[in-house]
Structure 1
Amino acid sequence: MLILKPKFEFEVSVEAELTPDLAEKGLEEIRSFKVWYGKLEKSLEELFEIEMQGDEKKLVLDGDFSKVKWIGAGMSEGEIVVKGNVGANCGAYMKGGRIVIEGNADDWLGAEMKDGEIVVKGNAKNLIGCAYYGDVTGMQGGGITIEGNAGNYIGEKMAGGVIEIKGSAGDFIGTEMKGGEIVIHGDCGFVGGDMKGGIIKIGGNFDLLPTFRKAEDGWVGDVLVNGEGKIVKI
């Protein structure tokens, strides 16, 4: 197990693709692992305190990582535990493994992920499970659970997997959704714009576009794109 703690409060963003694979490297290789602090290339030991415990494929990030981007990007196995807040793009392109964030998450959580699990104990911002600008497919598999609230554009262009938000969310939920499932236990704004497939389940109040037709157990649409996605009240 590898434990990282910030040595000081970061003034600019840190670009660091930190994954559990780091825990299997030698200590010298870990210390010299390159990251970006703003426009400056730094070694990991310049920014973080480094501690190794045992041989478990696990990464523990202890402290405020809210300015550290790309944590867990592309990871395929192992576990990451963040004992604080996390920056943008956490879990992007994720293929497997588990990420637990004990604080809040920034934008682009789980963007274009294919498998694995992400759990956020606090709140998350915008674009959860979405496709990056210019790409046609967002989240394809795996699961994201937000125990608090979330922002706008949740599951845009999503094709598979499950996003569950136990609180409320913002606007434009499931825009251009192709498949998968979004569950929002609280309230949200507009849902399902240009939705082609998948299902959105909502426990609270929401805004429905006029391009959905009433069905026995909810609404189906978006008819503007010949969609067969479903919106269900739970």
Structure 2
Amino acid sequence: MLILKPKKDFEVSVEAEITPDLAEKSEEEIKNFEVWYGKYKVKLGELFEIKKEGDEKKLVLEGDFSRVKWIGRGMPDGEIIVKGSVGAHCGAFMSGGKIVVEGNADDWLGAEMSGGEIVVKGNAKNLVGCAYYGDLEGMKGGKILIEGNAGNYIGEKMAGGEIEIKGNAGDFVGTEMKNGTIIVHGDCGFVGGDMKGGTIKIGGKFDLLPSFKKAEDGWVGDINVGGEGKIVKI
């Protein structure tokens, strides 16, 4: 297990593509692992206190990581526990393993992930499980659970997997969605624009586009794009 703590409050963003693989390296390799601090490339040991306990494939991040981006990028297995909030792109491209964020998450949580699990105990911002600009597919597999609220463009271009939000969400949930499931237990804005497939389940109030047709168990659309996605009230 590897424990990291920030040595100071970061004045600019840190881009640190740290995964549980780092816990299997030697302390010297960990200290010399290179990250970006603003426009400067620095060693991990310059920014974080480092404590290694055994060889378990697990990262524990203690403190404020809200300015640290790309945590868990592409991770295939292992576990990351963030005892605080986390910056943008957390869990992007991950294919396995588990990330637990005990605070809040910034934009692009789980973007284009294909497997694994992300749990956020607080709130998440925008673009959860989305495709990056110019890409055709967002989240393809795995599960994202947000116990608080989430922002706009949740699951845009989603092609598989599941996103569950215990609170409320913003506008444009499931835009251009192809497959998978989005569950919003609270309220949200417009849902399913240009949706081609998949299922959106909503517990509270939401805004429905006129391009959805009423079905026995909800609504089907977006008929403007020949879509067969389902929106269901729960």
Which TM-score applies when normalising by structure 2? Answer: 1.00
How many residue pairs match? The answer is: 234
1:24, distance to aligned residue in structure 2 (A): 0.3
Is 1:168 aligned to 2:168, yes or no?
Answer: yes
Q: State the SS of the aligned residue for 1:96.
A: coil
Residue aligning to 2:137: 137
Q: How does 1:107-186 map to 2 (within 5 A)?
A: 107-186=107-186
1:73, distance to aligned residue in structure 2 (A): 0.3
**% of aligned pairs identical?**
79
User: Given residue 212 of structure 1, which amino acid in structure 2 is its aligned partner?
Assistant: F
User: Given residue 99 of structure 2, which amino acid in structure 1 is its aligned partner?
Assistant: I
User: Given residue 203 of structure 2, which amino acid in structure 1 is its aligned partner?
Assistant: G
1:55, distance to aligned residue in structure 2 (A): 1.6
In structure 1, list runs of 5 or more residues that go unmatched: none
Is 1:77 aligned to 2:40, yes or no?
Answer: no
Runs of 4+ that moved beyond 2 A? none
Is 1:195 aligned to 2:191, yes or no?
Answer: no
Q: State the SS of the aligned residue for 2:159.
A: coil
Residue aligning to 1:2: 2
1:54, distance to aligned residue in structure 2 (A): 1.7
Q: State the SS of the aligned residue for 1:160.
A: strand
1:192, distance to aligned residue in structure 2 (A): 0.1
**Separation in 1, partners of 2:41, 2:196:** 43
Q: Residue by residue, what CA displacement relative to the aligned partner does 1:177-202 show, whole Å, maximum 9, x if unpaired?
A: 00000000000000000000000000
Q: State the SS of the aligned residue for 1:139.
A: coil
**Separation in 1, partners of 2:200, 2:140:** 15
**Separation in 1, partners of 2:54, 2:25:** 12
User: Given residue 131 of structure 1, which amino acid in structure 2 is its aligned partner?
Assistant: A
Q: State the SS of the aligned residue for 2:160.
A: coil
Is 1:33 aligned to 2:62, yes or no?
Answer: no
Q: How does 1:29-108 map to 2 (within 5 A)?
A: 29-108=29-108
**Separation in 1, partners of 2:56, 2:148:** 30
Q: State the SS of the aligned residue for 2:114.
A: coil
Q: Residue by residue, what CA displacement relative to the aligned partner does 1:125-165 show, whole Å, maximum 9, x if unpaired?
A: 00000000000000000000000000000000000000000
- Computed over aligned residues only, the root mean square deviation of the Cα atoms, in angstroms, reads 0.3
In structure 2, list runs of 5 or more residues that go unmatched: none
